[in-house]
Amino acid sequence: MTDWTQQTEQARLWFESLRNRICAAFEAIEAEAGSHATFDYLPWDRETEDGSDGGGGVRGVMKGKVFEKVGVNVSTVSGQFAPQFAASVNGASAEQPNFTATGISLVAHMANPHVPAVHMNTRFLTTQAAWFGGGADLNPPIPYEEDTEAFHAAFRAACARHNPTYYDKFKAWADEYFFIPHRGVARGVGGIFYDHLECEDEAAFERNFAFTRDVGEAFLDVFPRIVRTRMGMDWTLEEKAAQKEWRGRYVEFNLVYDRGTLFGLKTGGNIDAILMSLPPEVTWG
């Protein structure tokens, strides 16, 4: 089996550098709005049953004038899957349950209902296989066609630099994945979602890592632009109430269907980091 230790470290350093730049960009937006809000960072260690080093991460959270609540987490963890969960993970089994995972995960819930919420994550995992996954999707309580187009255009361009089939495939995957079956509605206006970009060798790792970096860069370019377009708009109490009710759909998806939530809970992740995706205020009808 290939030793992916060096590649995991490369990915970890990139995810942490992306976190630093995203957080700086979000803090700059808060400063433009006259806020002194900054991120609070809380390191955590993954607990293991046998007391071995299971890795850990850093949970970053900011609550400000523009970002009602935004979490940007990075983690690098390793260990063994529980036997009943291992069979559901690419390259793992009850007989071969070992894994490593490193990644960045971001969810932003905005104060102004005209500003869309957003989710982004990218990750590198190894079991008996090794692969990249991730994506980003826009979740506006009040959709604007130009925001949706700008968001998709950024990821369409990122995909086009690597494979002409990626955007259509990964957009369709996002549309299918970010859907709430019991409501019969999409969680938002989509984006891209990809998983199991296999790294059979070093060349495949470099190719898929380059694409994953471009996904992160696309997000860092487009989302702050959308925020600045909308954050000064006036809003009504009715629009705020609609935002809180819409957030209920987001909660339902993340607690019932989201793979990342399940992965974190099944691998001994930090509970606060896993559930940072939940909004600060929400209502149901």
Residues serving a catalytic function are 119
Q: Tell me what percent of the chain is helix, strand and coil, each rounded to the nearest 5.
A: 45, 25, 30
Return the bridge partners of 21, or none.
none
Which of helix, strand or coil describes residue 48?
coil
Phi–psi pair at 94, nearest 5 degrees: -60, -30
| Residue 162 burial (10 A CB sphere; 0-12, 13-18, 19+) | middle
Angle of CA points 221, 152, 105, to nearest 5°? 60
If you compute the radius of gyration of the chain from its CA atoms, what whole number of angstroms results?
Answer: 18
Number of H helices, E strands in the chain: 8, 9
- The token duo for 16 is 């942490």
* Cβ atoms 216, 11 nearer than 8 A: no
Residue (of 27, 59, 22) closest to 275 by Cα position: 59
Which of helix, strand or coil describes residue 31?
helix
Residue (of 51, 54, 90) closest to 75 by Cα position: 54
* Cβ atoms 138, 188 nearer than 8 A: yes
- Buried residues in 223-241 as b, exposed as e (16+ CB within 10 A): beebbeebbeeebeeeeee
Distance separating alpha carbons of residues 208 and 263, to the nearest angstrom: 22
